[in-house]
Each structure stands twice: as C-alpha cells, then as structure tokens.
Amino acid sequence: MPLTVTMPQLGESVTEGTIARWLKQPGDAIAKYESIAEVITDKVNAEIPAPADGVMSELIAPEGAVVPVGQPICSIETADSASAAAEPSAAAASSVPAQAAPPAPATPQTMSPTQAVQPAQTHSASEAGTAQLGPAPSEPLAAEVVGAVAETQTDTQPETQPQPPSPAPTGSSAEPSGGNGAAGYHLTPAVRMLVREHGVDLREISGSGLGGRVTKKDVLEYVQQRDAGPVARPSSAPAPATPSVVSTAQAAQPAPSPTSVQPQQSPVPFTAGEGDTIVPLTPVRKAIAEHMVRSRQTSPHAYVMVEVDMSAVSTIRDRERAAFEQRHGVKLTFLPFVARAVIEALQRHPTLNASWSDAGVVVKRNINLGIAVALEDNLIVPVVRDADRLSIAGLATTMADLGARARSNHLKLDEIQGGTFTLNNTGALGAVMTQAIINQPQAAIMTMDLVVKRPVVVSDAIAIRPVMNLGLSFDHRINDGLQATRFVTAVQKLLEGMDPSGTLV
Amino acid sequence: MAEKTYIEAIRDGIREEMRRDERVMIIGEDVGAKGGVFGVTERLQQEFGEWRVLDSPLAESLIVGVAIGAAMNGMRPIAEIQFQDFILPAVDQIIGEAAKMRYRSNGDWGVPMVVRSPFGGGVHGALYHSQSIEAIFAHIPGLRVVVPSTPYDAKGMIIAALRDPDPVLYFEHKRCYRAIKGDVPDGEYTVPLDRARTVREGSDIAVFSYGMMVHTSLEAVDRLAADGFSCEVTDLRSLRPFDREAIVASARKCGKVLIVQEANLAVSVASEVAAIIAEECFADLDAPVMRLGGPEIPAMPFSPPLEQFYLVTPNKVEAKLRELAAY
C-alpha cells in the first residue's frame, strides 16, 4: 500500500500545522529522510522528512491547508507498495489494504467467490457498516475511516451489501492497520466488537482519541444517543465534533476540529478600496496572526514596568566585552545579563514560570528561556533549555548561536519548543516602552527596552545613569499584580545589585 | 470498630490469633525485646514469653529454616524477615523446601508457615532497605504471596494466613505502616487470601495495583475524576494466585488498563497481569495495556531527588492515566 504521511506532532501544545510548500510533487523520486514539505506551526518553519524511499504519489493536503496533527498530508508509493499493487490477490489475502486508495475512487477490484469466503471475513462485519460508504475527499472523517478501514471496499457493489452488520462477505479483508505508524488511525478490538454488535456507521462518529481515533467510549456514547432518539445526520460539510463525543480532557485543550484539510479563511469578507493593495498572507503571517489572536483571547494580559539602573551591568560589560568578543567571537550585549537575572528571579517566583490549566496552575520544573528573535518576515522564539544551568557567558554564546541559526532558518524543532518564559530584547530595535503579547502557553513575557543615559536622582543629587525600562506582560489568571511586581522588581534588584567587579561566570 | 494504623492492625491480628491459638509463634531478628525494627511485634514477648516470640541470630536461612521445621511439627510460626531485601539468604528454604513440601510428600506434609516482611521504598532506605522483590516469589508454585494495602485487610489477611495449611508470604509496604489508617473491627475476622478487591468503581480505565501503590493510584484517579474520567481501581491483594476473574472483569468493563507497581517492570507482577488481560480480554481492549513501575536500575538510590525519580508518584500515575484517557 502507499505509505500515508501524516502531520507530525511539531510541539507539545501544537495541534495543527500549515503546509507552506510542497518540496516534492507527484511523480518525484524521494529518498528516505529527504525533506518533502515545509510546514508552519505557530511560529516556525519545519521541514517534514520522508519516512521511506519511494515516489511521491499524491498530495492530500494542498499548500496553505491547515492540517491537524495525525491527519494525512500525502502518500508515497514505496517499492513494497508497488509490488503489492501488482498482485492484487496476494494483497487482498494479506491483512493490508491493497490499493492506493486515494480519496478518489480507487481502482476497481473484483472479488472472486473464493476470496469472499476466506476466513478473514469474520472481521468483515465491522467493515460492512462502512463498506457502502464511498470515500469523499470533502469529508475528512470519511477519509479517515476509508484510510484505515474501507480502502479496498469502495469498489464492491454497495447495493449488494447487507445493510446491517450480519457477517456477510464483503470482499477483501481490508483490516485496519495495527497502529503501526503511518496511518496512525486504527480500530481497537473493543471498537470493532461494538461496531459489529450495534451496527454502527463509523462515519457518523467523531473520534475523540489519539489522532482522531474512534474510541470505545465514542461508540458507546454514539449508540446511546442514537438509540435514545433521532440523530442529526452530519451534513456533507465537515462539522466540528459535537460536545457529547468530545471527551472532557480534550475539551480542555483547543480541540482539533475534524476538519482535516481546509484552507484557513479570513473570518470577515473584505474588499479592497480604490488604490489599496492587498499583500497576500504568507503562511507565516497567518500563523503569527492566529497565535496573537489566540493569546489575547486566552490570557487576560496585565502589565507592569520598572526602570532599572544598569550602571553595574554596564561597568562589567564595558570591562569584559573586548576580551569576550575575542575569545568567543560573539558580541557581549545586555541580553545575557538580563537573562541571568530573569532566571534567578524565576527560581524565586516559580508561578511566573508556569502555565494555566483547568486542573490548576502548572508550575514548570525546568526553566527553558525563550528569546524572541525578530526577522524581516517572521518571529521566532528559540529556546535556551535548562537556562538555569548556564552562566552569563554560557547564555551569551548559546543565545548568539540560536539567534544566528534562527536568522539562517537552521533551528531544529526541539530548539523552538518547550519554552517556559520568554524574554524579548526590544531595546535592540530602539524601543523604550513595549507591551508584548504572551507566548502561549506561558505565564508571562518580559521586554527589555533600550538602555538610555538619563539624569536620575541619587542620594538627593542628580547623576547620569544608564537606565532601562523592563516590562512584563503577564497572564492575570495565573498571577496578580503582587506576584508580577515582586518578580519584576526582583529582576531589577538583581541587575542593579550586580557586583561591578564581578565576572561573567 | 476503631480507626487504626496499618501496623496496629497487623499487630492486633497476630496478638489475637496468638491468644486463640497457642501454636502461633514468632521468630525473627529483634522481634522480642525490641518489638521489631518497625514495632510490629511490640509488647508481644511481654505477653507471650520468649519461647513464643523468639529473637533469632542475624541469619535469615535459620529464621525460615526453623520456622519450616516448627510448622511441620505442629506449630504455626511467623518468620519475620526484617526487610524484604534480606530475604535472599532464605530463598532456598522458601522456594527449595517450603514451596515444594506438599507436592513432594504427595500431600502428606504441609508447611503452615507465614513469612512476614516489609518491602518498598520512599522512606530514604537506600539500596538495601527499599526493594520490592515480591515478583521472585509470585513466580513460584506452592507459595501464596499476599500484600494488604489497608488496615482492614492487614488484620483479616494475617489471621487468614496463619490458618492456611501452606506457606504464605505476607508482604507489608513499609510506607503504609503509619501513613495508612482505617477502620478495623475488633475481634476475629478473616479476609480471603486469593481475592482482589475493587477499591473504586469506574468505567473508563481499569487500574490494577497493590500495596502502597493502591493509595498512590487513588490520588491520581481522584484528579482525573475531577475532569470527568472514571477509573476503576482494583487492589490485587494476592500476587499468587492472581484473582483472574476480578482482573478480567474489570479490564473487560473498561477496555483500557493501567497496572501500577513500585517494582521495576521486567518480568514482574505487572507483566503477569498484562499477560492475563492479553490472553483473556483481547476483544475488549480499546487501548494497549499500559504499565507503570520503577526504572530498570539495580536498586532505589539514597539521594532524595534520585529516590523521587525512582518512585512511582501520583503525578506519574496521573500522566499515564491521561495518556490512556486520550488514546
């Protein structure tokens, strides 16, 4: 069978990805691990490697499509599948669906009576309910079921099939694949039994399990509803899962809608006025927009800002910068100093290194510091993992490396996920006051603005001091002004209290 | 009915049975004057004298060997092994002799002996006072292996063990001793030695566990209950023989299974429970059978953070349950 490639899990809270660009077209030869597509999630471009050698068979998701994690994006014809297709009878006898089964009707397959009474037909009852349902590309749920269950059965004559689930021969033994990866969607023994027992049409059930799997609970709830009264037939348009079949745990997360392949649409129709131009939305732009809107809708943002006297930091930096640059080939900026102070303050104020959940505030054990990097057409937040283990020098070199690779688009996937707190060096662009939007699902984001020399009052005298505004946007669900201000002033005190004769270690 | 700790319940059971049956005696390290390192046999020597509560040398092979001889000569001995970690010198007596006696004598001889021993970690016991090696004995035909998790079961099962005509290994999780309290009836009652117990009824995930891990699992299950997930928790209680009927019934009912134990997983109690379910419940499963246990390293470390890493905690159970719930 052709190998179905699904949208990978691109980050812990990521539920879907956008196909930015297909790097391979149908007919192109593919080597294992070769990149086949560029995918965009919240803020990052990632390339999907080919799981096997072969030839690109079909692009299931078009460019620009938003695909939930675990849903198919393309299929690859591998050497195995080619030989299998050449011997339909052998393939039918095996427990693997024989045909390529693109969402369009597959190659007709005729069934001989001998095949129809093969022992595998004991399983066919569960498929009988689905067999008569042709796969419709516009119905993703059907496509899922087809992908897993009914692949070769679309071509058996539906009208001759018994409607309810008497274990009649339905044709090939198109068994669900045993959860061995690519398709990712299978029927467990319990679900099969229930489907057979209750004569359930799997197409009518939205799977609440992993990768859209229909669970035992889904079937039982469906049967209960169906038997209780008339069930609203799903329209041909993909509908979001009904609440009754979405499990509570999932409801807590942004539930991936079963709309598996649907280009994102702007909610408000818009027409350009005279002289206006429309800049087409790049996938990156859409991803950023989606993330920003979601963050604002998710977290009630509140803000706090303090001024920091950067004299001590400046003294250290001025003294060390030449030697540091020579030794590490990296500029010594204020960023690693502030980062170090933020890390220490987070250790004392752990609820700022946290996430909201309905079960409670999740206080993170690790401090993975995200550093916002502004690119011409993108925003990336590479993550310094276990940042609390690094010295100022270590932070400087690590962040310089991540920043450089962010600019050259060479970050690895695990370098842009798992952040627990974000620091944004807005001063690098010249800003003196900023209110940032929280990088979900974190509790807060800190901005460090430009260090400017300003007259300040020190012991009733006016002195010239390098001053920096330090701003915090925080999720008011998790922390109140009290905690947030304590945290920000802790960073302030750590920076102001640095020993001017200190080192970077 | 009074609320008692787990350790008091064991002591009550032993004391009452010693009053009723003068064949019951105790032999072990420090069980007499000191009353046991954990205090299970406290004040028993004062009441029953030093011939019924015998302080032994530091030789586990002797403790069990003497108990076997006493049992075959009409006594009902309890052999106390101070820590399960130290039971290994007595393995030949337990597996080589006691377990086989009834079989090799064609039913003429039995060994009505109870070997009591505390196991488990989480008490900063380090390498030699934290192990959970019950699986070694659960493998052996001819033995009964039981692990009570509540004071009620602790008393009822020690009395039942003392009345059983064959060797019973009665393992006590040392973290339960003073942490777990519950109602314990006064006077005589027994709890069957081969029956699991449904601790919590539920329908979504079947959780199987024993000893302290029952309580750890319950804590996690309660957290999931708040999110609308209903887990059924079964306390296995008997690790030999397993209560297949109860295991199969709960697994069938829920379709998703998590087995929780403190010991490492390879060739363990959890392995056997998973195998029973795989054999008997295939058509009812809605997810792979999952297991949670200690890591495959030689022993529980002393360092507190490393001990925490080793231990199965409510957080770890919760994470695994959520994984199953989402499957």
Q: Is pLDDT at A98 greater than 50 in this prediction?
A: no
Q: Is pLDDT at A296 greater than 80 in this prediction?
A: yes
pLDDT of res. A42: 65
Q: Which of the two residues, A171 and A36, has the higher pLDDT score? A: A36
Q: Is A189 exposed, middle or buried (0-12, 13-18, 19+ CB in 10 A)?
A: middle
Mean pLDDT of B203-228: 96
Pairing between β-strand A35-40 and β-strand A45-49 as defined by DSSP bridges: antiparallel
Among A425-439, A469-483, B193-207, name the one with the lowest average pLDDT.
Answer: A425-439
Which one of B227, B255, B283 has the shortest CB-CB distance to A248?
Answer: B227
**What would the pLDDT profile of B155-188 be if each residue is shown by its tens digit?**
999 999 999 999 999 999 999 999 999 999 999 9
Mean pLDDT of A172-190: 51
Q: Tokens 């708040």 label which residue?
A: B226
- Answer yes or no: CATH 3.30.559.10 is held by domain A287-496: yes
Please tell me if residue A12 touches chain B, with a CB cutoff of 8 Å: no
pLDDT of res. A21: 87
Q: Are A418 and A383 in contact (CB under 8 A)?
A: yes
Run of H or E including A301: strand A301-309
pLDDT of res. A379: 85
Average pLDDT, chain A: 75
Calculate the alpha carbon distances from B234 to A367, B201, B202 in Å.
Answer: 38, 9, 10
Domain limits of chain B?
Answer: 2-184, 197-326
| CA separation for the pair A23, A34 (Å, rounded) | 10
| CA separation for the pair A414, A456 (Å, rounded) | 44
Mean pLDDT of A359-387: 91
| CA separation for the pair B102, A426 (Å, rounded) | 81
pLDDT of res. A138: 40
Q: Are B238 and B195 in contact (CB under 8 A)?
A: yes
Exactly one of A318, A386, A414, A480 is catalytic; name it.
A480
User: Are A249 and B326 a contacting pair at CB < 8 A?
Assistant: yes
* Predicted-complex ipTM score: 0.72
The residues facing B206 across adjacent strands are: B232, B257
| CA separation for the pair B163, A14 (Å, rounded) | 59
| CA separation for the pair A169, A119 (Å, rounded) | 10
User: Are B229 and A248 a contacting pair at CB < 8 A?
Assistant: yes
Q: Is pLDDT at A252 greater than 80 in this prediction?
A: no
In order, the DSSP letters of B206-266 are EEEE-THHHHHHHHHHHHHHTTT--EEEEE--EEES--HHHHHHHHHHHS-EEEEEEEEST
**Is residue A81 very low, low, confident or very high in pLDDT (cuts 50, 70, 90)?**
low
| CA separation for the pair B45, B24 (Å, rounded) | 13
Q: Is A172 helix (H, G, I), strand (E, B) or coil?
A: coil
Topology of domain B2-184, CATH = Rossmann fold (3.40.50)
**Is residue A116 very low, low, confident or very high in pLDDT (cuts 50, 70, 90)?**
very low
How far is the alpha carbon of B132 from chain A, nearest alpha carbon, in Å? 29
Highest mean pLDDT among A124-128, A152-156, A354-358: A354-358
Query: CATH says A1-86 is which class?
Result: mainly beta
pLDDT of res. B184: 97
How far is the alpha carbon of A207 from chain B, nearest alpha carbon, in Å? 10
Provide the token pair at B299.
């022993």
Of A396, A340, A416, A377, give the one whose Cα is nearest residue A11.
Answer: A416
**What would the pLDDT profile of A311-345 be if each residue is shown by its tens digit?**
999 999 999 999 999 998 899 999 999 999 999 99
| Contact residues of B toward A, CB < 8 A | 204, 223, 226-229, 255-256, 282-287, 322, 325-327
User: Are A249 and B322 a contacting pair at CB < 8 A?
Assistant: yes
pLDDT of res. A249: 38
User: Are A249 and B327 a contacting pair at CB < 8 A?
Assistant: no
User: Are B255 and A359 a contacting pair at CB < 8 A?
Assistant: no
CATH for the B197-326 domain, from 3.40.50.920, 3.40.50.300, 3.30.1330.10, 2.60.40.10: 3.40.50.920
Q: Is A64 exposed, middle or buried (0-12, 13-18, 19+ CB in 10 A)?
A: middle
**Residue B109: how many CA atoms within 13 Å on its side-chain side?**
14
How far is the alpha carbon of B146 from chain A, nearest alpha carbon, in Å? 32
Enter the DSSP assignment of A160. Answer: G
Question: Is A80 an active-site residue?
Answer: no
User: Are A249 and B227 a contacting pair at CB < 8 A?
Assistant: yes
**Beta-carbon pairs below 8 A across chains A and B:** 50
Mean pLDDT of A171-185: 38
Question: B2-184 and B197-326 share one CATH topology?
Answer: yes
| CA separation for the pair A83, A431 (Å, rounded) | 63
Question: Is A476 an active-site residue?
Answer: yes
Q: Which of the two residues, A251 and A327, has the higher pLDDT score? A: A327
pLDDT of res. A276: 86
Enter the DSSP assignment of A95. Answer: S
Q: Is B39 helix (H, G, I), strand (E, B) or coil?
A: coil
| CA separation for the pair A323, A337 (Å, rounded) | 16
Q: Are A39 and A20 in contact (CB under 8 A)?
A: yes
Q: Which of the two residues, A97 and A298, has the higher pLDDT score? A: A298
| CA separation for the pair A13, A34 (Å, rounded) | 26
Beta strands in A88-214 (DSSP E): none
Domain limits of chain A?
Answer: 1-86, 107-254, 287-496
What phi-psi label fits residue A450: left (phi over 0), alpha (psi between -120 and 50 degrees) or beta?
Answer: beta
Q: Tell me which amino acid residue B32 is.
A: G
